[in-house]
Amino acid sequence: MISKKEEKKATVALRRRGLSYGEILKRVPVAKSTLSLWLRSVGLSKRQKQRLTEKRISAALKGSAAKRDKRILLTRQLQTQAHSQVGVVSKRELWLIGVALYWAEGSKEKAYHPGSGASFMNSDPNMIALFLRWLSEACNVERERMRFEIYIHESHKENTKRVRKHWSSHTGFSIRNFSRVYFKKDKINTKRKNIGDKYFGVLRVKVSASSTLQRQIEGWTRGIYEYCRVV
């Protein structure tokens, strides 16, 4: 059996070689508190300190990467499971989904502006595509009645062609339908994050001659919240 004196001598020698506490404990299995007591007077060279610092950083990065990979895997598993829970969406379910979407993001008729038509505005191309399908399949709105307006910040004027192409590809409408582009003024020292190649502004979908549809949507919305006992 190795004596405590020999163990201490071994740990001091390993420490002077620049090994970390963890590396020493793998070779000399003693309590960490004992190791700390034995080595508190043992100094390290600048190079040895640098090596240990680099090792700690590397370990931290590996730990962070492992946590990230675990989070990504868990997220994928949750999303896959959630996706399978949706199943087939019936026409009635599509209708209710669209009403709820419009309730959240659609325009509302104002008392001071009666007869206003239906319009829907969002930056998410998937939501826009779903809304267009809702108009077509649940509300029987002809494609010819659907109009589009693009709103982007003026600092992206040079990207207008790319933005129009983006919305055309996600809606299935010809790029000619996206001629109306409005530029919003940028504010100085803004902290906006909607910049770069993934910025495509906001799309407004307007339905011509749709004051009747607007009032129907208001009734559908009222039916939902009254049935759900919101009021």
As a dihedral over the C-alpha atoms of residue 138, residue 139, residue 145, residue 148, rounded to 10 degrees, the angle is: -60
Handedness of CA 121, 124, 127, 128 (dihedral sign): positive
Residue 52: predicted pLDDT: 81
Q: Give the residue among 156, 101, 94 at the shortest CA–CA distance from 127.
A: 101
- CA torsion sign, 218 to 219 to 220 to 222? positive
Contact criterion met (CB below 8 Å) for 143 and 177:
no
pLDDT of residue 22: 82
pLDDT at residue 198 in the model: 86
Bridge-based pairing state of the strands 202-207 and 146-153: antiparallel
The pLDDT assigned to 26 comes to 85
Instruction: Write out the E strands in 80-130.
Output: 119-122
Q: What pLDDT, on a 0 to 100 scale, did the predictor assign at position 188?
A: 47
Between CA 121 and CA 105 the distance in angstroms is 6
Q: Say what the pLDDT of residue 223 is.
A: 94
Residue 192: the pLDDT is 58
Consecutive sets of 10 residues in the chain, 231 residues long: mean pLDDT of each? Answer: 77 84 84 85 80 83 87 93 93 96 90 79 96 96 97 92 96 96 74 72 96 94 88 60
Task: List phi, psi (to 5°) of 29.
Answer: -75, 85
Check residue 113 and give its pLDDT. Answer: 64
Q: Are 148 and 167 in contact (CB under 8 A)?
A: yes
Question: Do residues 149 and 206 make contact, with C-beta atoms less than 8 angstroms apart?
Answer: yes
